[in-house]
Structure 1
């Protein structure tokens, strides 16, 4: 059973009302995603607990973040988490369907840990199913949303399972976006990547792919992972 809350160095995530809990993959995304100096406005699509919005707010005090969450229970919990943090004045949580939400601005950055699974067994837990499956937000719809939300120099960070590269790249191309860089996440050095973070935009310079290995052996983090997560994890 997942913990009811997760303490970070600068904030607490209470997660008992959220279908999708704090995950190592999402923490990596929040810590690794490049935050350019010009970033002032951020859109978090599918905010869940509010984790990514608060990680970005901690890293870059110049930004204001709109965090959208379709599930009312999760949105309420994200609001509580944000309001209990030092970042409350810079994060606005909206309970809304991202496909129907009309922003009043263009964004410098979008971050999203979207529904992962296009074809897999469905859960009896409606909230968890909605959070995990692309039935609620397809790659096509997400790419279109990002293209509409970003300003010309803006970019997006998207966390997906390994093996979804072609589906995501094709969806991006149809919306005028391209993939400029990837972070390949391996649980162990001898395992294939199981998650990929894609950097996506319309006017980005291509950069070499990076790789992150989480564990040296079970229960022992690599030095690279510890360095990345040290600003956030309590015991690093």
Structure 2
């Protein structure tokens, strides 16, 4: 049995989710730019629901929707939403993003996604875990094409991707009229390789800002920059 994950303002049950709470999702949920103009948010591939819950904690948005294709994860996300202080603003759809993007007419001020990464050829023994981890369920081009339809005129898309995929994702985005507004490249520690890219896209074609985020100074000694980002969420920060 996977123990619940306790954040400062909410708890995540995760025993039925293939993908457990990890640094990527929390990082994205803490980092994504939100201002007072954001009234509607969609978390694509919500898993446990952690990012949607972080969005509800961080914003005044009246609509915080989430999408999840896996039945067990969907049910668990709904339970996590209902157990939180923001249950009235959170709603989860059980659908694929491709279906959802075709059928929904509404637009969102912020789309956020910690998408499946592993495009390599290997698979695990668990179909559920593969669905959560592999790109075939939601390739980057589907995510970006759907986002270009679902984003409001001044809306933003915030995602986290492996650094080696950054160029490909930026190219696909430009083809559907979305441009990088902000790019934060993440390293585990100083002197290590860049591992992830946190990206925000908008319809506005202007030069985006690029910065770097280092998580740890040394093992379990976190940088001020990282602590500042996640301190509203992690209990021990």
Q: TM-score, normalised by structure 1?
A: 0.95
RMSD: 1.4
Aligned-partner Cα distance in 2 for 1:70–1:181? 29
Alignment of 1:28-177 (within 5 A): 28-101=27-100, 102-177=103-178
Q: How far does residue 181 in structure 1 lie from its aligned partner after superposition? A: 1.5
**CA deviation profile, 1:105-156 (whole Å, cap 9, x unmatched):** 1100000000112224111110111111111111111110100100111010
| Matched residue, 1:186 | 187
1:78-98 deviation digits (Å, cap 9, x = unpaired): 000000000101110111111
CA–CA separation in structure 1 for the residues paired with 2:47 and 2:206: 30
**Alignment match, 1:5:** 4
- Number of residues paired by the alignment? 235
Alignment gaps of 5+ in structure 2: none
SS in 2 for 1:189: coil
Matched, 1:213 2:214: yes
Per-residue Cα deviation, 1:161-186 (whole angstroms, up to 9, x for no partner): 11101210122122121222111111
After TM superposition, give the deviation of residue 200 of structure 1 in Å: 0.9
Structure with greater proportional helix content: 2
Q: Distance in 2 between matches of 1:55 and 1:204?
A: 28
**1:61, distance to aligned residue in structure 2 (A):** 2.2
Corresponding residue SS for 1:194 = strand
- Looking at structure 2, the residues matched to 3 and 215 of structure 1 have their Cα atoms a distance apart, in angstroms, of 26
| Kept in 1: contact 2:45–2:115 (CA 8 A) | yes
Higher mean alpha-carbon deviation, 200-209 vs 86-95, is at 200-209
1:19, 1:190 → 2: CA distance?
32
- Provide closer, same or farther for how the CA distance between residues 135 and 44 of structure 1 changes in structure 2, counting only shifts above 3 A: same
CA distance in 1, matches of 2:233, 2:180: 27
SS of corresponding position for 2:129:
helix
Residue 193 to residue 120, structure 1, CA distance change in 2 (3 Å): farther
> In 1, are the aligned partners of 2:24 and 2:114 still within 8 Å (CA)?
no
Whether the aligned pair in 1 keeps the contact of 2:148 and 2:176 (CA below 8 Å) is yes
Query: Greater CA deviation, 168-177 or 67-76?
Result: 168-177
2:41 and 2:61 in contact (8 A); partners too? no
Q: Deviations over 1:60-81 (max 9, x none)?
A: 1234111000000000000000
Q: 1:204 to 1:30 in 2, by over 3 A?
A: farther
Structure 2 distance, partners of 1:19, 1:134, is 15
